[in-house]
Amino acid sequence: MTGSGKRAGPVVVTESLSKWYGEVIGLNNFNLEIKSGITGIVGPNGSGKSTLFKLMLGLIRPNAGDIRVFGEKPWGNSALHSDIGFCPDYESLPLESTGREYLSLVGHLHAMSGSTLSTRIGEVSDLVGMRHALNRKTGGYSKGMKQRMKIAGALIHDPELLILDEPLSGTDPLVRKELIDLTKSLHREHGHDVIVSSHVLFEIERMTHDVALIYKGRAVASGDISEIRDLIDKHPHSIVIEGDGITALAKALLDQDYAVSVTFNEDRNGMTVQISRPDDFFNGLPALIEGVDCSVSSMYSQDNNLEAIFEYLVGRK
Amino acid sequence: MDLMRTMTGITALTLHSTKKLLLSRKLLITVLVAVFVATVMGYAGSQDVDPLPDGTDLMDALILFFFMPVMAMIFGTSLIRDEIDDKSITHVATAPLDRAYSYIGYYIPLVIVVIVSMVIIDTAGFLAFFAQQGLTSEAVELYLEFTALVTIGAFVYSALFLAVSVAFKKPVFIGLFYAFIWEGFIGSLPGAIQKASVKHYLRSLGSRWVDYGDISSLEGVSSLGDSILVLSLMSVILLVLGAYMFRREEIS
């Protein structure tokens, strides 16, 4: 029960790939190479992650450029699906079927049958921890159980490549941890190449260090996550500080070389500080507050979201 | 080996889709139509009528003429389109089975369910009428003849409405237009124009088999050979066309 994962060359290669839906651009001149292992695709909602996956699966055809999965074009190439397992981010389970019936259907569609299929259903349901719920209708599953069953469906034919589209979406923290552990074990212990997407960077970071960042249909950065973190750290972060006596704090901050600018709010009870090195700022702030004897009631980041980071990375800020 | 893989996939999809259709709420429509037809024919059967000609006209008008295309439209226009719209088609679209073959796995269940529905409606109407007027051997023969006609109709109309469900984003509107306006109106006009409807060829077949009622003495009917040829060709062409369109359909 292992994906072979031993093909030479990259798993996915795209060259100048573009896909648009009418006037809406899904992917725009998209270039990316995904190697064997676990690769995280990170981007805000609507950035083009699902479009990329649909192109990898041949569910939609490119308008321009080229995409290859294991060296083959996916559009019109149903045989390639023998090597790919797909767990979509949307509800796709037949709700009137039991988990066993669903896995049996998917297995049969992959030309499996008889004892081979029965054994495999047992194996994948054990792997995702769903054996106890095999005979229950999927319509009664919780969100986490549905995610697991979709992953089981993607694994049933033991594919080389697993594509998991936002597998953690809508799940509680405990289930998230279990799914993250499962994703890691699918590669480490079972040999599958995994491409997994999320709009939350730190979740992907817990699964892999190989990431590609997508924003507005373009691959804005790819490689080791530490390099991308360095890029992010160069981003002038905006921090809002509110409280009493913060004018003195502002003066103290402007003496620090990591402070780019300070802008007061209209009521002068708050200010927005732009900083270049977040770590230095957060480490030094307690001492500064103590030194000027001010009272800080709240502090938050204005751009603590991926959108701001992506806009910075593509040079819009 | 490839043939075995394909057959395994088609069989699995056929069983899954058949079960899904038979357990769907749409089957309630079949029950309601059967009750309606049984009520109308039951009332007619309680009156002073000439059993075989009047019973034949009722089955012709209610079952073959009206509800045959309507029931095929209800089941056919939604089958694939609903799965594309609610994305439950993903496991089929990501299987290593050519979508042209997957299409067969939708067509066969549709034919089965349309036949089951029409036989239920046909039987309900027949029993409601002839149980009162006498279940003679002629009446049973009439029942079997209409059952054969709706079975043939199920193959043709299923091919038509399944292709419509792939070709259009809102197939139900096209289906309603075809079932009610085209088949209901064009198929009733005098002259050669009625040959542009499926119903014309089904009734042409019926006119060769049925010995009672208006259908037995229709004017301008097509020959037995022409009817079989047109219905067969239409089914095959629509099936191939639908499979081609399904293969080229983007699942987004």
User: What number of other Cβ atoms are within 10 A of residue B88's Cβ?
Assistant: 17
Taking an 8 Å cut-off on Cβ atoms, the answer to whether A81 and B251 are in contact is: no
Structural domain includes residue A36: yes
Looking at the structure of chain A, the number of domains it has is 2
A37 and A57 assigned to the same domain: yes
Domain limit, last residue, from A176, A200, A231: A231
Q: What is the CATH number of the domain that holds A71?
A: 3.40.50.300
Q: What is the CATH number of the domain that holds A242?
A: 3.30.70.100
Segments making up each domain of chain B, as ranges? 2-248
**A311: which 2 tokens?**
């806009």
Give the predicted TM-score (pTM) of the model. 0.83
Structural domain includes residue A99: yes
The pLDDT tens digits of the residues spanning B132-177 come to: 988 899 999 999 999 999 999 999 999 999 999 999 999 999 999 9
B26 touches chain A (CB under 8 A): no
Residue of B nearest to A52 (CA): B252
A115 and A207 assigned to the same domain: yes
- By residue range, what is the domain housing residue A246? 234-313
Structural domain includes residue A62: yes
Q: With contacts defined as CB-CB under 8 Å, which chain A residues touch B96? A: 78-82, 109-111
**Residue B1: is its pLDDT beyond 60?**
no
- Closest partner residue to B98 among A78, A106, A108, by Cβ? A78
The pLDDT tens digits of the residues spanning A248-267 come to: 888 888 888 888 888 888 77
- Closest partner residue to B12 among A21, A61, A108, by Cβ? A108
Task: Give Cα separations from A189 to A8, A107, B4, B14 (angstroms).
Answer: 20, 22, 32, 36
For chain B, count helices (H), then strands (E): 11, 0
Q: With contacts defined as CB-CB under 8 Å, which chain B residues touch A62? A: none
Query: In what helix (H) or strand (E) does residue A308 lie, and over which residues does it extend?
Result: helix A306-313
A192 and A153 assigned to the same domain: yes
A188 and A68 assigned to the same domain: yes
Over residues B26-35, the mean pLDDT reads: 95
A255 and A113 assigned to the same domain: no
Structural domain includes residue A76: yes
> What integer pLDDT is reported at residue A306 of this predicted model?
59
A110 and A219 assigned to the same domain: yes
User: What number of other Cβ atoms are within 10 A of residue A164's Cβ?
Assistant: 28
Structural domain includes residue A166: yes
> What integer pLDDT is reported at residue B36 of this predicted model?
97
Average per-residue pLDDT for chain B: 92
Max CA pair span of chain A: 77
User: What number of other Cβ atoms are within 10 A of residue B138's Cβ?
Assistant: 15
> What integer pLDDT is reported at residue B205 of this predicted model?
94
Task: Determine contact, residues A66/A16, Cβ cutoff 8 Å.
Answer: yes
For chain A, give percent helix, strand, coil, nearest 5. Answer: 40, 30, 35
- Closest partner residue to A88 among B8, B11, B90, by Cβ? B90
d(CA B54, CA A39): 72
φ and ψ of B142, to 5 deg: -60, -45
> What integer pLDDT is reported at residue A313 of this predicted model?
65
> What integer pLDDT is reported at residue B39 of this predicted model?
97
Amino acid identity of residue A153, one-letter, is G
d(CA A84, CA A5): 11
> What integer pLDDT is reported at residue A5 of this predicted model?
47
d(CA B241, CA B182): 20
A185 and A241 assigned to the same domain: no
Strands A218-224 and A210-215: antiparallel
Least Cα distance to B203 among B189, B216, B212 occurs for B216
Taking an 8 Å cut-off on Cβ atoms, the answer to whether B87 and A84 are in contact is: no
A165 and A218 assigned to the same domain: yes
User: What number of other Cβ atoms are within 10 A of residue A9's Cβ?
Assistant: 11
Taking an 8 Å cut-off on Cβ atoms, the answer to whether B87 and A88 are in contact is: yes
pLDDT in tens, chain A (317 residues): 444 445 678 999 999 999 998 888 899 999 999 999 999 998 888 889 999 999 999 999 999 999 999 999 999 999 999 999 999 998 889 888 999 999 999 999 999 989 999 999 999 999 888 999 999 999 999 988 999 999 999 999 999 999 999 988 877 777 788 889 989 998 998 889 999 998 777 778 889 989 998 988 988 888 887 777 676 666 667 788 888 888 888 888 888 888 888 888 877 788 988 887 776 787 788 888 888 878 887 776 665 555 666 666 665 44
With left for phi above 0 and alpha for psi between -120 and 50, is residue A111 left, alpha or beta?
left
* pLDDT bracket for residue B191 (50, 70, 90): confident
- ipTM rounded to 2 decimals: 0.84
Structural domain includes residue A69: yes
Taking an 8 Å cut-off on Cβ atoms, the answer to whether A59 and B4 are in contact is: no
> What integer pLDDT is reported at residue A235 of this predicted model?
67
Structural domain includes residue A4: no
A104 and A181 assigned to the same domain: yes
Residue of A75, A108, A116, A121 to mutate, testing the B interface (most B Cβ within 10 Å of its Cβ): A108
